[in-house]
Amino acid sequence: MTISVKIQKLPHAQDLPLPAYESAAAAGADIRAALPQGAILLQPMQRMAIPTGLAMSIPAGYEAQIRPRSGLALKQGLGIVNSPGTIDADYRGEVKILTINLGQEPIEITHGMRIAQMVIAPVIQAEFDQAERLDETIRGASGFGSTGQ
């Protein structure tokens, strides 16, 4: 199944390709850093919003989820602070990737570097109804770690 997502390239991303799936069955399309002014050095535990130079029109009923790229996460410790990040269907500003360096060495982020992956996913909005009581379950109110290790 495919849907159409309209993407506008901002001036600082004109030379970059659009997000792309790097294999035939990939769930996430790689998205790139738009840093024509020069590379950024992300220090250990430093957070930064990295520009992509892209604005999108995601169809109503969908969202774009921004997730880490597994290779960068494993090899360098590059993560996404709010993983997965959500781009709502009604947002029209520049997409920025909220990165964090969880590694022990600085990470150089360069113009055109594939820094995250984007998954387009359906959205279901709930109707919230106040209740005086909830149905009973075996687990009940048992929380963190209550089902074992």
Q: Is residue 68 one of the residues assigned to a domain?
A: yes
pTM of the model: 0.88
- Model pLDDT, residue 143: 78
Residue 111 structural domain: 6-122
| Closest CA relative to residue 107, chosen from 54, 58, 35 | 35
Extract the tokens encoding 126. Answer: 């709930």
Q: Let me know how long the chain is.
A: 149
Q: What is the DSSP letter of 74?
A: H
pLDDT at 149: 59
The ranges of the chain with pLDDT < 70 are 146-149
For residue 39, what pLDDT is reported?
97
Number of structural domains the chain divides into: 1
Whether residue 80 is contained in a domain is answered as yes
Q: What is the C-alpha to C-alpha distance for residues 92 and 89, in angstroms, rounded to an integer? A: 8
Per the domain annotation, does 132 fall within a domain? no
| 149: in domain | no
Give a yes or no: residue 47 inside a domain.
Answer: yes
54 by DSSP, 3-state: which?
strand
CB atoms within 10 A of CB 46: 13
* Alpha carbon of residue 40 to chain centroid: 19
Residue 53 located in a structural domain:
yes
Q: Give 108's contacts (C-beta < 8 A, 6+ positions apart).
A: 39, 40, 41, 42
CATH of the domain at 77: 2.70.40.10
Q: Report yes or no on 145 lying in a domain.
A: no
Taking alpha carbons only, the member of 39, 27, 7 closest to residue 67 is 27
The answer to whether residue 110 is domain-embedded is: yes
DSSP of 127-142: PP---SS----SSTT-
Contact in structure between 66 and 85 (CB atoms under 8 Å): yes
